Amino acid sequence: MKIAVPIKFVPDLVEELTIDPSGTALDTTWLRLIINELDDHAVEEAILLKERTGGEVTVLSAEADGVDDFLFTAAAKGADRLIKLTGDFSAADNHALGRAFADVIKELQPDLILTGVQAHNDLDGSVGPLLAEYLGLPYVGYVAGVTLAGDKVTARKEYSGGLVAEVEVQLPAVLGIQAAEQPPRYVAYSKIRQVMGTAKIEERPVSGLESSGGVVVSRMFQPEVAERATMLEGSPEDVADKLVGLFKELGTL
Amino acid sequence: MEITLSPLSPSVTKTFYTSLFDIKDGERIRTCLQCGTCSGICPFGYIMKFPPGKIIGAIRAEIFEHVLKTDSVWMCVSCNACAAFCPSNIPITSVLMTRAKEEMILAGNVPSELQAALENTQRYGNPLGESPRKRADWTLGLQPEVNILAKTRQPVDVLWYVGDYASYHPRMQSATKALAKILNVLGVNFGILGPEEYSDGDSQRLAGERGLFEMMAQKNGQVFRRYKFNEIITTDPHAFNALKNEYPALGIAYPVRHYTQFLFERLEQIKPLLKNEIKAKVAYHDPCYLGRVNGVFDEPRALLSAIPGIELVEMSHQRINSLCCGGGGGGMWLDGFQWEKAHTRLSEWRVREAIATNAEILAVACPYEPPRFEDATKTIPAASQLKVREIAELLAESMDL
């Protein structure tokens, strides 16, 4: 069983986000990047599957500050191969990223591809379904639990309202992970250090990112105050009466 | 849990046991009398399946694996009481308990609260998960401006290593500001590292994350080398302990004092400045890593006694026998875990001791303590009137700063 886990780095919300002078993108001067939380869960799920049934886990990421450390940490947890896509990804959207991942993954020929179901900076859809489209593979998203059975997997797909569906999928397939079966594990820093001395990150240069089908940002801005809210004063009964009056006025009642 | 008499894998015990000998004074563990003093003095010994003495017993019986199957060691707050009272002078906390926690961490058996603090330390250089760029934000608005060495690059007499909680914790920041004002009034030429300062790493080390501690120490060491200063003072007893006792072995050696020692040396200069009377009975809590581990008992008391109006009273646990606030050795990041096991907090015991002395103020000298003890005064109804004040806050109040 070969499992590929394409991951991406996203802006760390611990730092204040600012808009760059073009007004269409985040200012990257002070931007700090962090692993997309759900991609971290995808890595954990892949390692859990490997521990249960054996196999080889490959973690792939586009080049970014902090990616090497993350890849080494994944190796210390049990990932077997680390691949870094190199090139200028500063303006890469998920369409471009999906295509770049697809090219490398075609060559890896994995049985299963796990990736985080979404990220907080997804503007043009999430990576998983795009990747599945480019690879011509089936996709199931919002997965929290994977069972392997021969050339099929059963994915536990979460729906809102507490519903869960068990979906059988023919391999190879792409799964969008909502949560690993256990929280991402801790690995002692001494182990990461050891891995840094032995593990290799394979670099794959990527040129000519293709972002067609994506979105064009015309304006990026902080939330703006449009109109002041009206505070209704008085006893709860008075306020309720005024509220009903307002709703009638607006035609909603 | 049932304990079988047959060893599961004697090599596990043997490997662990012999690894203890590589640590300073580790071999003293051979001299254990099995008297049980450590387990008795341990504030959480009564709740551990394997308190320290029993761990040593399990090692001798070659069944150490059973210890690792329990989560006993995560009740240890590294307060060093076991070591301080061991008749064989075995450094139980720094050798046995810390190594046992390290085994748990290497096995990936880490409570989630602690995991978050360790990951934050690795990523942001502080366990609170705050932005490193905001480490000096507590200085905003202070006049004169606090000298951040990366900006001014001026040599200073004193490098003030502020520490994690003193920099970031909203409750502690008032004490941190108070100390900055005091240093200014005393005309001390000091500077801080601000965004370049990393966690001292000592509590992470005592929570078993040795590798992370070394990473923090090396990063701090690199920053220290960039600037000229004569000595380091620190607000944080854990940082004091790390800089004094642990960093030198990593080649990072500077003279270091806790701020209470530094101010005590200037007591004659301070005394005439203490104008405002603070009429209160004050109980002083000895922080574990200032008092019991590093022997600083008298200086904080002398500073408090110098404040007009203060009547110093002593709690039943004091000086070398002080009772931990519960924040050490990872306890700061195991609050929920320990509460689930014990349904009590050491900070709550301590505020009960404080009110038993009729104290109106509980004075502290460690950044873990104001938030911990203040929380405890909210959960212990009889302690609702007890005020928790950092020594620097009391001095600044008396100086009218």
Q: What is the pLDDT of residue A96?
A: 97
Beta bridge partners of B281: B311
Helices (H), A91-232: 94-108, 127-135, 189-198
* Cβ contact A189–B123 (<8 Å): no
Of the candidates B52, B50, B44, which has an alpha carbon nearest to the alpha carbon of residue B3?
A: B50
- Examine the pLDDT at B351 and tell me if it is beyond 70: yes
Mutation for testing the B interface, residue in A29, A190, A192 having most B CBs under 10 Å: A190
Distance from A15 to chain B by nearest Cα, in Å?
6
Q: What is the pLDDT of residues A173-204, one digit of tens each?
A: 999 999 999 999 999 999 999 999 999 999 99
Residues 6+ apart with CB under 8 A from B19: B99
Distance from A9 to chain B by nearest Cα, in Å?
14
Mutation for testing the A interface, residue in B19, B105, B214 having most A CBs under 10 Å: B105
Question: CA angle, corner B378, sides to B258 and B306, nearest 5?
Answer: 35
Mean pLDDT for the stretch of residues B64-71: 93
**Chain A positions in Cβ-Cβ contact with residue B131 (cut-off 8 Å):** 14-15
In this complex, the residue of A34, A183, A188 whose CB is nearest that of residue B105 is: A188
* Cβ contact B119–A186 (<8 Å): yes
Q: Report the C-alpha gap between B200 and B243 in whole angstroms.
A: 8
SS (H, E, C) B174-226: HHHHHHHHHHHHCCCCEEECHHHCCCCCHHHHHCCCHHHHHHHHHHHHHHHHH
Q: What is the pLDDT of residue A160?
A: 92
Q: What is the dihedral of CA A33, A34, A37, A39, to 10 degrees?
A: 90
| Radius of gyration, alpha carbons of chain B | 21
Q: What is the pLDDT of residues A4-32, one digit of tens each?
A: 999 999 999 999 899 999 999 999 888 89
- Examine the pLDDT at B2 and tell me if it is beyond 60: no
Question: CA angle, corner A35, sides to A32 and A41, nearest 5?
Answer: 160
Show which residues on chain B lie within 8 Å of chain A, measured between beta carbons: 102, 105-106, 108, 110, 112, 115, 118-119, 122-124, 129-131, 133, 209-212, 214-215
Mutation for testing the B interface, residue in A186, A192, A193 having most B CBs under 10 Å: A186
Q: What is the pTM for the complete model shown?
A: 0.93
For A114, phi then psi, to 5°, come to -115, 135
Residue A168 banded pLDDT, cuts 50, 70, 90: very high
Q: Report the C-alpha gap between B358 and B314 in whole angstroms.
A: 10
- Examine the pLDDT at A70 and tell me if it is beyond 70: yes
Angle between helices A37-53 and A67-77 (to 10 degrees): 30
Q: How many angstroms separate the Cα of B48 from the Cα of each of B91, B156, B356, B387?
A: 19, 48, 28, 32
In this complex, the residue of A15, A187, A192 whose CB is nearest that of residue B133 is: A15
Mean pLDDT for the stretch of residues B353-364: 98
Contact B19, B98 (CB under 8 A): no
**Chain B positions in Cβ-Cβ contact with residue A189 (cut-off 8 Å):** 122, 209, 211-212, 214-215
Q: How high does pLDDT run on average in chain B? A: 96
Residue at A245: amino acid letter: G
In this complex, the residue of A14, A183, A188 whose CB is nearest that of residue B209 is: A188
* Cβ contact A186–B212 (<8 Å): no
Residue B89 banded pLDDT, cuts 50, 70, 90: very high
Q: What is the pLDDT of residue B11?
A: 87
- Examine the pLDDT at B290 and tell me if it is beyond 70: yes
Distance from B394 to chain A by nearest Cα, in Å?
33
* Cβ contact B105–A186 (<8 Å): yes
Q: Report the C-alpha gap between B375 and B267 in whole angstroms.
A: 32
Mean pLDDT for the stretch of residues B353-367: 98
Q: Report the C-alpha gap between B382 and B378 in whole angstroms.
A: 9
The residue behind tokens 């004092």 is B257
**Chain A positions in Cβ-Cβ contact with residue B129 (cut-off 8 Å):** 14
DSSP run (H or E) holding B346: helix B346-356
Residue B3 banded pLDDT, cuts 50, 70, 90: low
Mean pLDDT for the stretch of residues B116-122: 97
In this complex, the residue of A183, A189, A190 whose CB is nearest that of residue B112 is: A183
Mutation for testing the A interface, residue in B104, B112, B122 having most A CBs under 10 Å: B122
- Examine the pLDDT at B354 and tell me if it is beyond 90: yes
**Chain A positions in Cβ-Cβ contact with residue B115 (cut-off 8 Å):** 186
Token reading at B50: 């394997």
Contact B121, B208 (CB under 8 A): no
The residue behind tokens 């994915």 is A155
For A249, phi then psi, to 5°, come to -60, -40
* Cβ contact B211–A192 (<8 Å): yes
Distance from A185 to chain B by nearest Cα, in Å?
7
Q: What is the pLDDT of residue B7?
A: 57
Query: What is the number of H-type helices and E-type strands within chain B?
Result: 20, 8
Distance of CA A46 to the CA centre of its chain: 15
Q: What is the pLDDT of residues B223-269, one digit of tens each?
A: 999 999 999 999 999 999 999 999 999 999 999 999 999 999 999 99
Indicate if ipTM > 0.85.
yes
Q: How many angstroms separate the Cα of B239 from the Cα of each of A209, B204, B329?
A: 48, 11, 13
Token reading at A143: 């997965």
Contact A150, A189 (CB under 8 A): no
A78-82, A231-235, B146-150: the lowest-pLDDT one: A231-235
Q: What is the pLDDT of residue A253?
A: 80
In this complex, the residue of B110, B129, B209 whose CB is nearest that of residue A189 is: B209
Q: Report the C-alpha gap between B330 and B111 in whole angstroms.
A: 10
Helix (H, G, I), strand (E, B) or coil at A115: strand
A68-77, A218-227, B152-161: the lowest-pLDDT one: A218-227
Task: Give the residue from chain B lying closest to A70, CA to CA.
Answer: B123
Beta bridge partners of A174: A113, A139
Q: Report the C-alpha gap between B10 and A242 in whole angstroms.
A: 78
For B192, phi then psi, to 5°, come to -125, 165
Selected residues 58-97 of chain A with any CB under 8 Å from a CB in chain B: none
Distance from B313 to chain A by nearest Cα, in Å?
43
**Chain B positions in Cβ-Cβ contact with residue A30 (cut-off 8 Å):** 133
Residue A91 banded pLDDT, cuts 50, 70, 90: confident
- Examine the pLDDT at A172 and tell me if it is beyond 80: yes
In this complex, the residue of A14, A190, A193 whose CB is nearest that of residue B129 is: A14
| Number of CB atoms found within 10 A of residue B124's CB | 23
- Examine the pLDDT at B5 and tell me if it is beyond 90: no
The residue behind tokens 């059973």 is B66
Q: What is the pLDDT of residue B327?
A: 97
Question: CA angle, corner A222, sides to A216 and A225, nearest 5?
Answer: 125
Chain A to chain B Cβ contacts (< 8 Å): 36
Instruction: Specify the DSSP class assigned to residue B26.
Output: G
Q: What is the pLDDT of residues A137-156, one digit of tens each?
A: 999 999 999 999 999 999 99
Q: What is the pLDDT of residue B308?
A: 98
For A153, phi then psi, to 5°, come to -125, 150
Q: A245 touching B, CB under 8 A?
A: no
Q: Report the C-alpha gap between B304 and B282 in whole angstroms.
A: 8
* Cβ contact B110–A186 (<8 Å): yes
Q: How high does pLDDT run on average in chain A? A: 95
* Cβ contact A187–B108 (<8 Å): yes
Strand ranges of the sheet holding B361-364, from the earlier edge strand across to the other edge: B310-313, B280-284, B361-364, B387-390
The total number of residues shown for chain B amounts to 401
* Cβ contact B211–A191 (<8 Å): yes
Beta bridge partners of B363: B284, B389
Burial class (CB in 10 A: 0-12, 13-18, 19+), A158: middle
Q: A183 touching B, CB under 8 A?
A: yes
Q: Report the C-alpha gap between A62 and A127 in whole angstroms.
A: 12
Task: Give the residue from chain A lying closest to B101, CA to CA.
Answer: A188
